[in-house]
Structure 1
Amino acid sequence: MSPPLNIALLAFPRCQVLDVTAPAMVFQAANDALGNMHYHVHILSADGGPIDTSSAVTLVTKSIHELDPSLVDTLLVAGGDEAGLQLLTANETVRRWAVKSSKVARRYGSICTGTFALADFGLLDGKRVATHWSACTTLAERWPDIIVDANAVFVTEGNLWTSAGVTTGIDMSLAMVAADLGDTVANLIARRLVLYARRPGYQSQFSAVLNAQSQAEAPFAELIEWIRENLTQQLDVPTLAARVSMSERTFLRHFARSMGETPARFIETLRLDQTRVYLASGMSLKEIAAKVGYLTAAQLSKAFDRRFGMSPLLFRELHRRGGCDAAG
Structure 2
Amino acid sequence: MADATPHGVAILVYDGVTLLDVAGPAEVFKEANRFGADYRIVLLSPTGADVTSNLGVRIAVDGAVSSEPAFGTLVVAGSDLYPRTRVPADLADAARTPAAMAGRVASICTGAFVLAAAGLLDGKRATTHWKVAHELAARCPTCRVEPDAIYVRDGAMYTSAGVTAGIDLALALVEEDHGPGLARDVARALVVYMQRAGGQSQFSAPLQGPPPRSSALRKITDLVTADPCGNHSLGELAKHLNVSTRHLTRLFRDELSTTPARYVENIRFDMARALLDQGHTATQAAALAGFPSYESMRRVFARKLSISPAAYQRRFGTTRRAEAGQVVSGRA
State TM-score, norm by structure 1: 0.64
Instruction: State whether residues 255 and 262 of structure 1, in contact with CA within 8 Å, keep that contact through their aligned partners in structure 2.
Output: no
Aligned pairs, number: 243
1:78 aligns with 2:81: no
Show the 5 A alignment for 1:19-168.
19-34=21-36, 38-65=38-65, 68-82=67-81, 89-91=88-90, 95-168=92-165
Preserved CA contact (<8 Å) 2:171 2:194:
no
Q: Unpaired runs of 5+ in structure 2? A: 207-267, 309-332
Can you list the C-alpha shifts for 1:136-169, whole angstroms capped at 9, x where unaligned? 1111112211111111000000000000120000
CA displacement 1:62-121 (0-9 Å, x = unmatched)? 2225x6544211011111022699686321xx5445323222211102111111111111
* Paired AA for residue 221 in structure 1: D
Using the aligned pairs only, state the percent identity: 32
Contact 1:85 1:117 in 2 (8 A): no
Is the contact between residue 113 and residue 131 of structure 1 (CA under 8 Å) also seen in structure 2? yes
CA offset at residue 253 of structure 1?
4.2
Deviation at 1:20, TM superposition (A): 0.7
Work out the CA distance in 1 between the residues paired with 2:55 and 2:99: 28
Aligned ranges for residues 312-323 of structure 1 at < 5 Å? none
Cross-structure match for 1:263: 294
Can you list the C-alpha shifts for 1:271-312, whole angstroms capped at 9, x where unaligned? Answer: 67249xxxxxxxxxxxxxxxxxxxxxxxxxxxxxxxxxxxxx
Calculate the TM-score normalised by the size of structure 2: 0.64
User: Aligned partners of 1:190, 1:84: CA distance in 2, in Å?
Assistant: 30
Residues in 1 aligned to 2:166 and 2:20: alpha-carbon distance in whole angstroms: 8
Could you say which residue in structure 2 is the equivalent of 1:323? none
1:12 aligned onto 2:7: no
**Contact kept in structure 2, 1:129 and 1:146, CA below 8 Å:** yes
- Greater C-alpha radius of gyration: 2
1:206 maps to a residue whose letter is: S
CA 1:180 to 1:263, structure 2 compared with 1: closer, same or farther past 3 Å?
A: same
SS of the equivalent of 1:75 reads: strand
Q: 1:261 to 1:14 in 2, by over 3 A?
A: farther
Residue in structure 1 matched with residue 182 of structure 2 by the alignment: 185
Q: Please provide the CA RMSD for this pair.
A: 3.2
Structure 1 position 58, deviation (Å):
2.6
* Divergent runs of 4+, >4 A: 83-88, 94-97, 208-219, 269-272
Moved more, 141-150 or 265-274: 265-274
Q: Give 3-state SS (helix, strand or coil) of 1:191's partner.
A: helix
**SS state at 1:72 partner:** coil
Structure 1 residue 59: Cα displacement: 1.8
